[in-house]
Chains A and B, each alone.
Chain A
Amino acid sequence: SQQGEEDPQALSIQEGENATMNCSYKTSINNLQWYRQNSGRGLVHLILIRSNEREKHSGRLRVTLDTSKKSSSLLITASRAADTASYFCATDARGTASKLTFGTGTRLQVTL
């Protein structure tokens, strides 16, 4: 079963705009990661935030984590057409032998 949900399921924006995706999860976690997937191919790790961190930045990416609400958000600033992909959050839950549990994903479309 999926750990949680991403919101929105689909997002369409124009190049240069910011894109925000949200993720909710259900159990206590060690960390939360965001991955990107192009056209049903393999996933690429983007960023990891530990359970004791609240915000993290990497280039144009900003991730926040609220463990009290069991939620995270991914912000992509100044989006580009090449950012068009599906984005998944994945949680590494405590006591689960390092398995990752993925959400349902947000499909981002960035148009010129």
Chain B
Amino acid sequence: ETGVTQSPTHLIKTRGQQVTLRCSSQSGHNTVSWYQQALGQGPQFIFQYYREEENGRGNFPPRFSGLQFPNYSSELNVNALELDDSALYLCASSLGGSGGKNIQYFGAGTRLSVL
């Protein structure tokens, strides 16, 4: 167990809808990263939050947005869902400024299906 929890576990939406995914980070971690993993592929970096500020973004459109709260939990919001957004969404927490190690602790993921 990594101590990182994600909700919900599974979600089914239709094209054009909006979705919010949630993540509680491991105790003591101040950094949360979000990844999208399509079937049969490696995780792709969406963005990272460090102490409530966005700290890097991957090649994803603005309809992917996020928040980090004072307790370091985080949300991923996706607007105007497209069929290609169907994937496993992974949240990972880490301790920023940890001497460059950047070891990330992953939640079990949210499986999003867009119909």
Contact = CB atoms under 8 A, between A and B. Distances in A.
A78 interface: no
Nearest to A35: B106
Contacts of B2: 42, 44
Contacts of A92: 100, 102
Contact of B55 (A31, A98, A103, A105): A98
A105 to B, nearest CB: 5
A61 B91 CA distance: 26
Interface residues of B, number: 34
Interface in B4-25: 4
B30 to A, nearest CB: 12
A109 to B, nearest CB: 15
Contacts, number: 77
Contact of B56 (A1, A35, A98, A105): A98
A72 to B, nearest CB: 14
Interface in B59-115: 59, 88, 90, 92, 94, 96, 100-109, 111
A41 interface: yes
A48 B103 contact: yes
Contact of B100 (A30, A42, A103): A30
Given A31-B102, A98-B94, A102-B43, 4 more contacts: A40-B111, A42-B107, A43-B90, A100-B43
Interface of A: 1-2, 30-31, 33, 35, 40-45, 48, 88, 92, 96-105
17 contacts: A30-B100, A31-B101, A33-B103, A35-B106, A42-B109, A43-B43, A45-B103, A45-B105, A88-B43, A92-B102, A98-B56, A99-B58, A100-B43, A102-B44, A103-B42, A105-B41, A105-B42
